[in-house]
Chains A and B, each alone.
Chain A
Amino acid sequence: MTAKEIIKPENLVYTKTKVMTDVPMHYCPGCSHGVIHKLIAEAIEEMGIQEKTIGVAPVGCSVFAYNYLDVDFQEAAHGRAPAVATAIKRLQPDKCVFTYQGDGDLAAIGTAETIHTCNRGENIVIFFINNAIYGMTGGQMAPTTLEGMKTSTCPYGRNTDIYGFPLKISDLLAELDGTCYVTRQSVHKVGNIVKAKKAIKKALQNSMDGKGTSVVEFVSSCNSGWKMSPHKANLWMEENMFAKYPLGDLKDTEKKHYGQ
């Protein structure tokens, strides 16, 4: 059987989802952002909520997320996406609202917005891309940078005596009464990608059902910032990042209601 005979619409098993635009993504070759964009778009398509979904884009490498996902989008100032998403969801409670943020955006400049949004239990989803580095601005140290990890602002490795410890912000958010679902996923292997999509769908459904704030962290690689090939970066991530940021659900409940 030749390729020509196989290439027919009825034999299609995988292609780019229609919830992604045809704009070529600006990310570096092999960047996790692309896979995560794709998964969010596929989840939106499969749930049939394209017209109901509103995203909030961050500052960071994914600042142009609105060019790639074919849903309504708002750009926020650095770190303020959860505050913007709060307003959107409160004004339009029937919409499915999510933010898409890097670790610099969410766990450094936007820590206050992140924590208070989760603590208020806003019915939004926070997609958190943790690559342990400030990717866009040249690979500086982030709060999430691993102990001993080299970045452009700690070229001898992160020294915890001076710079403190890697911030496990998802663990912190899971402690808050406002969050209903906090999970840590990755997208470096097919099995992980399938699991991550399930988590994305669950989180988006939580937003629709008004269950509280859902946080989906993706332990990701930034191969340019880490100065490795995409494949090596994935191996390094498995070896080093997963020890500090283990995959799996941190919390899966409904937000607490104490009455009026």
Chain B
Amino acid sequence: MAKFKGTVVVNTDCCKGCELCIEACPLKILGMSHHCNSKGYHYVELKDEDACIGCASCGYVCPDACLTIYKVKL
């Protein structure tokens, strides 16, 4: 069982759908939404809420600083 549990809050309006976070996530649990934001970009979302360990890899690589990461120790 994971020692940490995390979650990602996406600022969907500033996401440009570059998908760099999807590649950076070690667990590959981020994916593109079917919805678009006000600029017409598909934005990223956390596909598997339970699996996130809050490592913030996605946040570091995001060029537009759209991701906020929280984590708790279990």
Bits for A1-36, please: 1 = Cβ < 8 Å to B, else 0: 101011110011111110010001101111111110
Say yes or no: B71 contacts A38, CB within 8 Å.
Answer: no
By the criterion of a CB under 8 Å from any partner CB, how many residues of chain A are at the interface? Answer: 36
Bits for B22-39, please: 1 = Cβ < 8 Å to A, else 0: 011000000000000000
Say yes or no: B56 contacts A13, CB within 8 Å.
Answer: yes
- Given known A-B contacts A14-B67, A190-B57, A230 and B18 have beta carbons under 8 A apart: yes
Instruction: Report the minimal beta-carbon distance from B43 to chain A, rounded to whole angstroms.
Output: 11
Q: Which residues of B contact A (CB under 8 A)?
A: 5-7, 9, 13-14, 16-20, 23-24, 41, 49, 54, 56-57, 59-72, 74
Q: Which residues of A contact B (CB under 8 A)?
A: 1, 3, 5-8, 11-17, 20, 24-25, 27-35, 38, 187-190, 193-194, 229-231, 234
Listed by A's residue number, 17 A-B pairs whose Cβ atoms lie within 8 Å are A1-B72, A6-B7, A11-B71, A11-B72, A13-B54, A14-B68, A16-B66, A30-B16, A30-B19, A34-B64, A35-B61, A38-B63, A187-B61, A190-B24, A230-B19, A230-B20, A231-B19
In the complex, which of the residues A8, A20, A24 contacts B70, with contact meaning CB atoms closer than 8 Å?
A8
In the complex, which of the residues A16, A35, A234 contacts B68, with contact meaning CB atoms closer than 8 Å?
A16
Give A190 to B55 CA distance when docked, in angstroms: 10
- What total of A-B pairs shows CB separation below 8 Å? 93
In the complex, which of the residues B19, B64, B69 contacts A14, with contact meaning CB atoms closer than 8 Å?
B69
Give A189 to B74 CA distance when docked, in angstroms: 27
Say yes or no: A24 contacts B57, CB within 8 Å.
Answer: no
Given contacts A6-B72, A14-B59, A30-B18, 6 further A-B pairs with CB under 8 A are: A1-B74, A6-B6, A7-B9, A13-B54, A14-B60, A14-B69
Give A24 to B59 CA distance when docked, in angstroms: 16
Say yes or no: A190 contacts B64, CB within 8 Å.
Answer: no
Give A8 to B61 CA distance when docked, in angstroms: 23
Say yes or no: B70 contacts A12, CB within 8 Å.
Answer: yes
